[in-house]
Amino acid sequence: MSIVVRNPPRADAAVIDGLAALGVATVHEAQGRIGMLAANMRPIFPAHIAGSAVTCQVAPGDNWMIHVAVEQCGPGDILVVAPTSPCEDGFFGDLLGTSVQSRGVRGLVIDAGVRDVAELTAMNFPVWSKTVWAQGTIKETLGHVNTPIVCAGALVEAGDVIVADQDGVVVVRRRDAASVLEKSRAREADEIEKRARFKAGELTLDVFNMREKLAAKGLKYIDYEGY
Amino acid sequence: MSIVVRNPPRADAAVIDGLAALGVATVHEAQGRIGMLAANMRPIFPAHIAGSAVTCQVAPGDNWMIHVAVEQCGPGDILVVAPTSPCEDGFFGDLLGTSVQSRGVRGLVIDAGVRDVAELTAMNFPVWSKTVWAQGTIKETLGHVNTPIVCAGALVEAGDVIVADQDGVVVVRRRDAASVLEKSRAREADEIEKRARFKAGELTLDVFNMREKLAAKGLKYIDYEGY
Amino acid sequence: MSIVVRNPPRADAAVIDGLAALGVATVHEAQGRIGMLAANMRPIFPAHIAGSAVTCQVAPGDNWMIHVAVEQCGPGDILVVAPTSPCEDGFFGDLLGTSVQSRGVRGLVIDAGVRDVAELTAMNFPVWSKTVWAQGTIKETLGHVNTPIVCAGALVEAGDVIVADQDGVVVVRRRDAASVLEKSRAREADEIEKRARFKAGELTLDVFNMREKLAAKGLKYIDYEGY
Amino acid sequence: MSIVVRNPPRADAAVIDGLAALGVATVHEAQGRIGMLAANMRPIFPAHIAGSAVTCQVAPGDNWMIHVAVEQCGPGDILVVAPTSPCEDGFFGDLLGTSVQSRGVRGLVIDAGVRDVAELTAMNFPVWSKTVWAQGTIKETLGHVNTPIVCAGALVEAGDVIVADQDGVVVVRRRDAASVLEKSRAREADEIEKRARFKAGELTLDVFNMREKLAAKGLKYIDYEGY
Amino acid sequence: MSIVVRNPPRADAAVIDGLAALGVATVHEAQGRIGMLAANMRPIFPAHIAGSAVTCQVAPGDNWMIHVAVEQCGPGDILVVAPTSPCEDGFFGDLLGTSVQSRGVRGLVIDAGVRDVAELTAMNFPVWSKTVWAQGTIKETLGHVNTPIVCAGALVEAGDVIVADQDGVVVVRRRDAASVLEKSRAREADEIEKRARFKAGELTLDVFNMREKLAAKGLKYIDYEGY
Amino acid sequence: MSIVVRNPPRADAAVIDGLAALGVATVHEAQGRIGMLAANMRPIFPAHIAGSAVTCQVAPGDNWMIHVAVEQCGPGDILVVAPTSPCEDGFFGDLLGTSVQSRGVRGLVIDAGVRDVAELTAMNFPVWSKTVWAQGTIKETLGHVNTPIVCAGALVEAGDVIVADQDGVVVVRRRDAASVLEKSRAREADEIEKRARFKAGELTLDVFNMREKLAAKGLKYIDYEGY
């Protein structure tokens, strides 16, 4: 059976917007180094967004369910698409981009290909995908919308928060989002202070007190002449 | 035996220029979803061209036949190069780029590496390749010019039309080019009209009358509370 | 045992700066088509640098030794990092970037992932890496600094010259650097002259006297009608 | 925090053994074409098993948590291991194999490398992995045991049924296992009958009544002379 | 439009059987180092066959056209299948294997996945594929039978001769098959004589008179002490 | 300039034979987890050998230097071949295999392709390669024999000891070989004792005293009901 789950709860809009101001690396560290989608999810142009996930499972070479998913998308959402077996086809182009953008969708994350990237760039509609390719798709096979999916190696559920920037894509569980935002802001604040010290020439070895632990593990310094 | 075929017929210049105004995705759909070269053929900078193919078969790590092919190139051509076994070497750089550009060649498509990409970008000479790498090549082994080749998984014959943009590279058989142009323009016109409707908020589900077929296939809508 | 070699000899600064003015393709050809790091070492933004290598061997998923290596870096250096087994994690971000940039380091070459690329780009700190990914690392395992390493398939020793541009990364042995600079300049001068001739329409077939050798190897020209 | 979940419910032993008698392809089809782990999960020798999943999340290059997971394994279990970022290291060898085999574990599924494959083969301990490599691991970083993991692109929870043969690895949700067994047996029975008809020369075109639907979609038969 | 071409001419059965007695490496060299399908086409068990190609173009994730192709297959044929975009799904299993084997088909070459490999091995039905995976396919989209296709990077036409062994798969044009057989046998005979000489300790350097050419190119011998 | 270094010192024959009795995993661990060639170096049949390296650098698609290297090979050697840029061609087949086997060579390690694997298997001549492919090579370009090379990511010098089994290939520096043998034997002895304990049901957690350290790092045990 193919299912479309309507009106799943979204993460809090203020929390999402808070996370959008923070980098993917910071968010991922703040939640304990988890939640990254695979490294091959690359942006079609430099962008930085956050939103609430609408999930969509498709068949390889078939984008029919994306058309179904569009109707479930609203302002502040990010569409997250995964095929049931690996596929590089261009499942999404500027027509679907126009449609979801008109509904307030902030971007697309797809473990497959995307096309019309010149137009999508001109429209300022960001996409993270594993490839860019014009190869077209058909409309024959059903899938699911807003059920849990594995996208690029990460579990994504409807209403999870997606944060995406040039370093990739991270998923934050909806129930954890507020707490992750808080920890991310603390981490960010700490980094600002540290950055100033590093710029002034202090070393991470000293700022983070690594020297003793390194010596205890057996690190030796040798002058080149003695090597 | 190694062969250079001289003066193969080119596609009609007006047809080529017509196709150059259309996207690769549109052209590929218009001819029945065929003709895409593999997804790993990526541009060194954003570009959009069309031209008549001059084909060139080379040995791995050996660009000698490209030098031979240059003489067969003329205004409006695109040089299409494929090695006889997979190779990432930089077969083509700014000197060859200068030479073919002086002959009116519009770009290069190569299922291998390219180098001097900063210079080629400055010259505005577009290249689609599977990699960028400075690794050099030799000049010892013959190949063919203007015989049919398989380039990045697609059959290309001299005089076929190549259309390339940020979504990849598509080949159109010479004999089909005029008809494909016509179908592509019709498709383009239709998309312009559709785009306006999607921008205004209409759904593809309705515009393309998908709802009934989806229901017939078994799609079910469930509210989150009932899921 | 884990070793940090202090104060290895650097290549001559004038030689390094001389090489920085030349392209990777030119330098690699001038030294006999050797020294390229693998083709998957790609820049996070278009850049062109040369510097003296500080080498760093790390464990997969562990960037501790990079912190150790920073202290060994000085003006004009390039940090070259290789993991002991393949890894895509983001070993290096803007904090480490700030730290090494404050010490005069010109860039990073890493056979792994990098993160905070928006910030590193804004800082104008160039990086060549095999991927971009926010996935974080730990600090548990020792490695080496300034010992010989294999990075992206090439042997790199402390004090070797690294030249990196959009075509990739090449290593020049320290003892050969002056001689390679001389040969590279000669090659560059020759190319400038050749480029003018190619721009004027001369063919490489004639400029390099290839026709006789091609015929001797068996190349045949056939008109399309006879094919 | 790192968690070991003790005594999760297992699937029914009779159901597991029932599934062990059926092929991965059959089980995957019977449950609606879902549940396959990625195609790069290959067996170190031809084998066919089923068991109840004990899940284990490890850090890249670090097999410490596998040692923790062993204690949670019992008769009829299959150990399922996934790293938090891609890694090819040999996380598991004949010592761990001896240990889990002594506890009645039926096999290992790991989205990483395995080593000592000659010894594991001699012991008749089957492993499905993405690579075979002797590269060793360390014991520094915690992970989880028996929490839900994504392994080779599929979600696996403790107590799910794993079926693995030469065609790959499939996961069946614990709650669905009995029903999937029933459907798989029906499918198997049907295939036995069909196989006899195909062996006797009947065509799938006729047995499955495809001809009409093919014609309706537009399939045309042309004799070679007319082509 | 989707086309099935009926009764294309086959290569001569005696020529096919002659080629079946020769290795893929020999045949490929004899026809001038051309015709190899890509290196990732691997056999599911050690086998060595030759046959006349029946070609089949399929959609990704859809094996419907293989069912259509079966009817076009006869004794001595090899079924050659290529998808229109890259796919790893298991398009072919033991039921289709039973069906084509009952018609005298000698094997399958598929630029995609295969499944039921234990059963196909037991049946002694050889397959060369890019992967082995149980992931199933659907029956919705048409393609072509016996039209020219590009399979794993090589052009294959109906009636071409396919030779496949543990070294991969080579295609021989039907019109060239008799001549290639002759050249292959000559090469084979020569190799038998050479093999005896090499076994007796003669060097290829001497048997093929390479020493002079090597010296002319600049090869130098240095004793280790002088190195 | 191209160089053949004659008569480099070999490692001690007794040491080599001692290492041949030990697994690659054991040797690699004993020398501090270093020296593994990349995981894609796979054997064409199950084998386990050790020998003294004769190194050979070749051009892509060109096996000429292997013919030169054969003369430098003697009893107990292993030929180690690396191309100057990535290549999958079949550089080595049964004729070269016959030649080197007649000289007492124990096997081949090549970061490229091999062919005639059925014949090489029948001859019991083991090969570790990154692919198997019949695609042929030419004889035009010089390289080096017995100079240091990087093969599959590892530095190999003439006279280093190579150990290869089903887990891959490891290189041991000639000067370290005796010491590594000793450490490997100690490790092997220890593993035999441990294996007996694990077989009897003892846990690595206890045998290696891991429980306290795990708890200190924060590992928590939770019963399923409380999860």
pLDDT for A100-133, tens place per residue?
999 999 999 999 999 999 999 999 999 999 999 9
Place of tokens 């021989």: E172
Look at F146 and E224 and tell me if their CB atoms are within 8 Å: yes
By CA distance, what is E204's nearest residue in F? F67
Residues of F in contact with D112 (CB under 8 A): none
Quote the pLDDT of residue C1. 75
Look at C214 and B64 and tell me if their CB atoms are within 8 Å: yes
Look at E138 and A135 and tell me if their CB atoms are within 8 Å: no
Look at D90 and F167 and tell me if their CB atoms are within 8 Å: yes
By CA distance, what is F148's nearest residue in C? C155
The arithmetic mean of pLDDT across residues B31-49, rounded, is 97
Those chains having 3 or more beta-carbon pairs within 8 angstroms of chain A are B, C, D, E
The partner residue sitting opposite F210, judged by closest CB among D67, D98, D135, is D67
In sequence order, the 6+-apart residues with CB closer than 8 A to the CB of A186 are: A30
Phi then psi for C188, rounded to 5 degrees? -60, -45
Phi-psi sector, A223: left (phi>0), alpha (psi -120 to 50), beta = beta
Positions in chain E short of pLDDT 50: none
The minimum CA-CA distance between F218 and chain E, rounded to whole Å, is: 40
At position B203, the amino acid (one-letter code) is L
The partner residue sitting opposite B153, judged by closest CB among E33, E39, E153, is E153
Place of tokens 């149980």: E134
Give B42-61 pLDDT, tens digit per residue: 999 999 999 999 999 999 99
The arithmetic mean of pLDDT across residues A157-162, rounded, is 98
For testing contact with chain C, the best of B95, B101, B127, B135 (most C CBs within 10 A):
B135
Residue C132 tokens, joined: 């971009």
Give F30-64 pLDDT, tens digit per residue: 999 999 999 999 999 999 999 999 999 999 999 99
Q: Is the pLDDT of residue B136 over 80?
A: yes
The partner residue sitting opposite F153, judged by closest CB among C34, C148, C153, is C153
- Helix (H), strand (E) at residue B28: helix B24-30
Mean pLDDT of chain A: 97
Look at B154 and E154 and tell me if their CB atoms are within 8 Å: no
Give F133-162 pLDDT, tens digit per residue: 999 999 999 999 999 999 999 999 999 999
Residues of A in contact with B222 (CB under 8 A): 3-6
The partner residue sitting opposite B155, judged by closest CB among E39, E85, E150, is E150
Residues of C in contact with A162 (CB under 8 A): none
The minimum CA-CA distance between F11 and chain D, rounded to whole Å, is: 23
Q: Is the pLDDT of residue D187 over 90?
A: yes
Look at B204 and A70 and tell me if their CB atoms are within 8 Å: yes
Distances (CA, A) of B189 to B22, B161, B196: 11, 22, 11
Does C contact D via 3+ CB–CB distances below 8 Å?
yes
Residues of B in contact with F90 (CB under 8 A): none
The minimum CA-CA distance between B127 and chain F, rounded to whole Å, is: 21
The partner residue sitting opposite A131, judged by closest CB among B28, B39, B198, is B39
Give C104-135 pLDDT, tens digit per residue: 999 999 999 999 999 999 999 999 999 999 99
F73-88 burial by CB neighbour count: b if 16+ within 10 A, else e? beebbbbbbbbbbbbb
Quote the pLDDT of residue E227. 80
Q: Nearest-CA neighbor of D28 among D147, D173, D196?
A: D173
Give F90-117 pLDDT, tens digit per residue: 999 999 999 999 999 999 999 999 999 9
Quote the pLDDT of residue D227. 80
The partner residue sitting opposite B224, judged by closest CB among A5, A103, A134, is A5
Q: Is the pLDDT of residue B226 over 90?
A: no
Quote the pLDDT of residue F31. 96
Pairing of β D144-145 and β A168-172: unpaired
Look at B142 and C218 and tell me if their CB atoms are within 8 Å: yes
The minimum CA-CA distance between D8 and chain E, rounded to whole Å, is: 29
The partner residue sitting opposite C204, judged by closest CB among B70, B134, B136, is B70
Look at F168 and D133 and tell me if their CB atoms are within 8 Å: yes
Those chains having 3 or more beta-carbon pairs within 8 angstroms of chain B are A, C, E, F
Residues of E in contact with A138 (CB under 8 A): 59, 140-141
Phi then psi for E101, rounded to 5 degrees? -65, -35
Quote the pLDDT of residue D25. 98
Considering just the CA atoms, what is the radius of gyration of chain C in Å?
21
Residues of C in contact with B7 (CB under 8 A): 223-224
CA geometry: angle C91, C92, C98, nearest 5 deg: 160
The minimum CA-CA distance between C41 and chain F, rounded to whole Å, is: 14
For testing contact with chain C, the best of A26, A31, A167 (most C CBs within 10 A):
A167
Q: Give the A-side interface with D, CB within 8 Å.
A: 33-34, 36, 38-39, 84-86, 148, 150, 153-155
Residues of C in contact with A28 (CB under 8 A): 134-136
Residue B98 tokens, joined: 């200068």
Look at E167 and F118 and tell me if their CB atoms are within 8 Å: yes
Residues of F in contact with D8 (CB under 8 A): 224, 227
Residues of D in contact with A34 (CB under 8 A): 84
Quote the pLDDT of residue B227. 79
Mean pLDDT of chain B: 97
The minimum CA-CA distance between E137 and chain A, rounded to whole Å, is: 9
Look at D224 and E7 and tell me if their CB atoms are within 8 Å: yes
Look at D85 and C135 and tell me if their CB atoms are within 8 Å: yes
For testing contact with chain A, the best of D33, D41, D57 (most A CBs within 10 A):
D33
Residue D61 tokens, joined: 């290059």
Place of tokens 């051509």: B77
For testing contact with chain A, the best of E57, E58, E87, E130 (most A CBs within 10 A):
E87
Quote the pLDDT of residue C84. 97
Quote the pLDDT of residue C169. 98
For testing contact with chain F, the best of D64, D91, D135, D174 (most F CBs within 10 A):
D135
Place of tokens 């013959």: B142
Alpha-helix runs per DSSP H in B88-200: 94-102, 117-122, 177-199
By CA distance, what is C58's nearest residue in D? D61
Give A173-223 pLDDT, tens digit per residue: 999 999 999 999 999 999 999 999 999 999 999 999 999 999 999 999 999
Query: In chain C, how many H helices and how many E strands?
Result: 8, 12
The minimum CA-CA distance between A16 and chain C, rounded to whole Å, is: 19
Does B contact A via 3+ CB–CB distances below 8 Å?
yes
For testing contact with chain E, the best of B150, B151, B170, B217 (most E CBs within 10 A):
B150
| Residue D1 confidence class, pLDDT cut points 50, 70, 90 | confident
Q: For chain B, what's the residue count?
A: 227
Place of tokens 């530095």: F155
Rounded to two decimals, what is the model's pTM? 0.97
Positions in chain C short of pLDDT 50: none
The minimum CA-CA distance between B124 and chain C, rounded to whole Å, is: 14
**Contact by Cβ (8 Å): C49, C193:** no
Quote the pLDDT of residue B92. 98
Considering just the CA atoms, what is the radius of gyration of chain A in Å?
21
The partner residue sitting opposite D140, judged by closest CB among C84, C89, C140, is C140
* Torsion (CA) E221, E223, E226, F1 in degrees, nearest 10: 20
Place of tokens 């990349």: F38
What is the three-class DSSP state of D150?
Answer: strand
The partner residue sitting opposite F131, judged by closest CB among E39, E194, E208, is E39
Q: Is the pLDDT of residue A143 over 80?
A: yes
Whole-angstrom distance, CA of residue F99 vs CA of residue F113: 18
Strands (E), F72-177: 77-83, 107-114, 127-132, 144-145, 149-151, 154-156, 161-165, 168-172
